[in-house]
Amino acid sequence: MEKINAVITGVGGYVPDYILTNEEISRMVDTNDEWIMTRIGVKERHILNEEGLGTSYMARKAAKQLMQRTGSNPDDIDLVIVATTTPDYHFPSTASILCDKLGLKHAFAFDLQAACSGFLYLLETGANFIRSGRYKKIILVGGDKMSSMVDYTERATCPIFGDGAAAVMMEPTTEDVGVMDAILRTDGKGLPFLHMKAGGSVCPPSYFTVDNHMHFLYQEGRTVFKYAVSNMSDACVAIAERNNLTKDNIDWIIPHQANLRIIDAVAHRLEVPREKVMINIERYGNTSAGTLPLCLWDFEDKLKKGDNLIFTAFGAGFTWGAVYVKWGYDGKKQ
Catalytic residue numbers read 116, 256, 286
DSSP 118: H
**CB atoms near residue 233 (< 10 Å):** 21
How far apart CA 176 and CA 3 sit, in angstroms, is: 10
Closest CA to 83 of 49, 112, 40, 44: 112
Report the DSSP pairing between strands 163-173 and 252-255: unpaired
How far apart CA 278 and CA 297 sit, in angstroms, is: 11
Q: Return the H-helix or E-strand segment holding 224.
A: helix 221-242
How far apart CA 97 and CA 72 sit, in angstroms, is: 19
Cβ neighbours of residue 37 closer than 8 Å, sequence gap 6 or more:
22, 43
**CB atoms near residue 95 (< 10 Å):** 24
Report the DSSP pairing between strands 44-46 and 5-14: unpaired
How far apart CA 130 and CA 123 sit, in angstroms, is: 11
